[in-house]
Amino acid sequence: MSSFVHRILATDGAARAGVLHTAHGEVQTPAFMPVGTAGTVKAMTADAVRATGATIVLGNTYHLMLRPGAERIARLGGLHRFMDWPGPILTDSGGFQVMSLAKLRRLDADGVTFQSHLDGSAHRLTPQRSVEIQHLLDATITMALDECTAFPATPAEARASMDLSIRWAHHSRDAFRPRPGYGLFGIVQGSVYPDLRHECGAALLRIGFDGYAIGGLAIGEGQATTFAVLDATVPFLPQHAPRYLMGVGTPDDIVGAVQRGIDMFDCVIPTRAGRTARAYTSRGVFNLRNARFADDAAALDEGCTCPGCTRHSRAYLHHLFKAGEMLGPMLLTWHNVQYYQDLMRELRTAIAERRLDAFARAARAAWAQEEAA
């Protein structure tokens, strides 16, 4: 069984291209993880996800603990077998969902008590229980439980939230069962305040984790602020460990974050957009419901290898959404995930060839064409 190791193969400025070795296979970085919150990437089969080139997906502690239950998944052979994904799986700890979805959330020093958004039932999530659930799921990468700081937050509010996350990080580390090829990531909090981000990062480094995530972003602060936080945080993270920017983002967000040294991403944007007729392309975002596509016989995005682009026209995709056919969201979700995986591959190549900044400029110029149209 392999060790959990992140090897840096090439750099271009702050950007890195590498490979993450895990118990469930290798992940080329920078990597985008399709979101499989409830044990499925919405509107896609596991084979379809694999066909895009994705090698790692994300699952979620909060959703899977509520339904169907971690113990049940363990009895059925673990999440890899349950969802037909033998490759690496990263599981979010549930902290963000407790903040954003749960009812009547009550925090204390040792965890959080909340009511399920599904049926109002009461639940208790502690760092120890979150790690235990992720172990039952057989997560390749376990995330420490954190308290996702709301935005905006005053410095005092951000510090109190950060202090709680650091306390929970200690408990998560103690509860984690080290195994070859498995990893535990800590999460840097601190809102938009550089001094708090530095303090939190230093505390997590003292605890010691296999990777470091940057949380508490992509919740309304805007891209400029996100990038400013990365500029203040990434230089303090260890060179050898993978860096994961949680919940980000658009293609432009990802390119900018890669330029700042981020290795891993997840976001619901490509799958959610696919279900709502929005396609990410090399020329920007298309809304396939627009009447201008009704007679458009062109492929959605020339050069894309997904079935929506190689077998169908923009007019057909437009028709599917106008007719309310479920194939429309399926094809467009596949396309969007393919587009994101192609973008990550192009970023890795650009880093290896030391032309990342030129690639970023060209990509942004192309995306702006559709925005100006």
Tally of CB atoms within 10 A around 59: 26
**CA contacts within 13 A on the Cβ side of 107:** 17
CA distances from 330 to 193, 320, 323, 340, 344 (A): 41, 10, 14, 16, 21
User: What are the tokens at 237?
Assistant: 């993270």
> Which of helix, strand or coil describes residue 276?
coil
CA distances from 150 to 143, 189, 191, 213 (A): 19, 11, 8, 17
Tally of CB atoms within 10 A around 292: 11
CA distance 231 to 60: 28
Q: Which of these is catalytic: 12, 146, 263, 266?
A: 266
Q: Which of these is catalytic: 92, 253, 301, 342?
A: 92
User: What are the tokens at 295?
Assistant: 């007679």
Q: Is 84 in the active site?
A: no
CA distance 119 to 52: 36
- 113 beta partners: 106, 124
Q: Is 357 in the active site?
A: no
* Residues designated as active site: 92, 266
